[in-house]
């Protein structure tokens, strides 16, 4: 993913690559988002993708969505993004 597939003459930034890879992983069924055909879940999936992209500028990304973290870690590993994406478990005691 060295060149922007739509505009090859323009720079292709890492956060854009995260977006593209996250979408590919989800489409290919790698820990996919569920029920994205429903509007509410589709909006949530787009939001997750945005969070993955924006978090590539941060040191750490925390989420209680394990599938999201697995996709993010796969994209970050491939692109050598140093952001630590970590699954957190919430205890409602």
Place of tokens 């922007």: 4
Percent with pLDDT over 90 in the chain: 61
What is the C-alpha separation between 8 and 14, in angstroms, rounded? 15
Structure-token pair, residue 54 = 């924006």
42 contact partners, CB below 8 Å, separation of at least 6: 36
Q: pLDDT tens-digit profile of 21-44?
A: 999 998 898 998 776 666 667 777
pTM of the model: 0.85
Going from the first residue of the chain to its last (93 residues), give the mean pLDDT of each consecutive group of 10, the final group possibly shorter. Answer: 81 93 91 72 83 97 96 97 96 81
CB 22 within 8 A of CB 49: yes
- Residue ranges covered by each domain of the chain: 14-87
């Amino acid at each position: 993913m060295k060149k922007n597939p739509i505009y090859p003459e323009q720079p292709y930034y890492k956060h854009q690559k995260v977006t593209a890879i996250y979408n590919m992983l989800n489409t290919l069924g790698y820990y996919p988002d569920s029920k994205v055909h429903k509007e509410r879940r589709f909006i949530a999936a787009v939001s997750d993708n945005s969070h993955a992209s924006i978090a590539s500028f941060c040191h750490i990304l925390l989420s209680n969505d394990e599938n999201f973290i697995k996709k993010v870690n796969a994209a970050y590993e491939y692109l050598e993004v140093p952001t630590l994406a970590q699954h957190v478990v919430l205890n409602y005691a």
